[in-house]
Amino acid sequence: MAIVQHLIVEEFGSYVGKKSERLSVTCKGEKRIEAPLMHLETVLVSGHGVSLSSDAVAACAEAGIPIHFLDTRGHPVGSLYSASLTATILTRRAQLTARENKMGVTVAKAFAEGKIRNQANLLKYMGKYRKERQPELYEAVRLLADEVLDHLAELDRLEGETVDVCRGRLLSIEGRAAQKYWGAIGKLLLADVEWPGRRTQGATDPFNSALNYGYGILYGQVERALVLAGLDPYAGFVHVDRPGKASMVFDLIEEFRQCVVDRTVMAIFNRGVKIELDEQGRLVDSARRSLAEKILARMEANEPYEGKRFPLRAILQLQARHLATFLRGERERYAAFVASW
């Protein structure tokens, strides 16, 4: 029996209960899967019409297993954690204090640098496979990757006493780099993929829908890493604080969007795999499950990190811990994770 690390429940009418030391998923009286709690990392509930027993919720809380809820478009609805995981006062005080001094600016710039470098590296990674077959495309993508990196010089010159002072300029730098990045992604997509350009809210095309859903999967993994590191998911630096918005999640996720989600979704579409939508432009159940499985599998892939190789899931957790120790003054610097290409 295969070990289940990430339990995905998306079928309407499913019921998640506890059976001995396992979570059991049934639907319409039929058993779908059983997952031993000792191996489980996360539970992902996607869509509507899924029920959970109080015993299953309590078992996950006691074992430190988060339960993440997404809607059919991949938007995070909420997460359940053990209350003890959030009882980390010193780290949170340091996180809030950094918002009011240059340490916050340093962290915000590190996130932006990681995003820009990972965008350029993914373009180079995907472009190198076109060098022989499509040399003109290879050159065009390579040039755009270099133009994305050009924005690092602007970022390096950015200064301010607090992140609130320089947030507008930082977001402008990120935005202009992203325009070039998505322009190159459009060139790298196969010609028969109808893509209107990057769309976030309300996307009804397969490629944007897959990206948005993939980011929702990654969102839960980032939130978990922050909570386990003692950080507050709702007190970010780059993204503005708003009620109900986990701005710290949106900050740290920038280091991992490209190597986890963009790379995976691009591979799916360039292999000609069809992503099916319903009549309302939403991913069907099978597409959501397939995407979730592939994104979570990518999180288990090994990448170079600090002279060794670790699964991306472990790298994400290490980055969250490095951030926490930097904010507490126990680490000299915080450097973003940059994936190899």
Asked whether residue 86 carries a pLDDT value surpassing 80, the answer given is: no
Cα separation, 90 vs 249, whole angstroms: 19
Structure tokens at 309: 């190789």
Mean pLDDT, range 57-80, rounded to an integer: 85
> Residue 35: CA atoms inside 13 Å, Cβ hemisphere, count?
23
Mean pLDDT, range 104-124, rounded to an integer: 97
Q: Per residue in 117-160, pLDDT tens?
A: 999 999 999 998 888 899 999 999 999 999 999 999 999 999 99
Give the strand pairing for 42-46 and 6-9: parallel
Radius of gyration of the chain (CA): 20
Cα separation, 210 vs 216, whole angstroms: 10
Question: Residue 319, class by beta-carbon neighbours within 10 Å (0-12 exposed, 13-18 middle, 19+ buried)?
Answer: buried
Asked whether residue 209 carries a pLDDT value surpassing 80, the answer given is: yes
What is the value of pTM for the model shown?
0.87
Domains in the chain, please, with CATH?
6-65 (3.100.10.20), 89-327 (1.20.120.920)
Which of 34-48, 101-115, 158-172, 259-273 has the least mean pLDDT? 34-48
Alpha-carbon torsion angle 17, 18, 22, 24, nearest 10: -20
Q: Per residue in 30-44, pLDDT tens?
A: 999 999 998 888 898
| Band (16; pLDDT cuts 50, 70, 90) | very high
Structure tokens at 325: 């120790």
- Phi-psi domain of 282 (left: phi exceeds 0; alpha: psi -120 through 50; beta: other): beta
Structure tokens at 137: 């495309």
Asked whether residue 88 carries a pLDDT value surpassing 80, the answer given is: no
Q: Per residue in 217-263, pLDDT tens?
A: 999 999 999 998 999 999 999 998 787 789 999 999 999 999 999 99
Asked whether residue 1 carries a pLDDT value surpassing 60, the answer given is: no
What does the pLDDT read at residue 76?
81
What does the pLDDT read at residue 265?
96
Q: Per residue in 282-329, pLDDT tens?
A: 899 899 999 999 999 999 999 999 999 999 999 999 999 999 999 999
Cα separation, 96 vs 109, whole angstroms: 17
Contact 246, 233 (CB under 8 A): yes
Give percent of the chain with pLDDT exceeding 90. 67
Task: Output the furthest CA–CA distance in the chain (Å, rounded).
Answer: 62
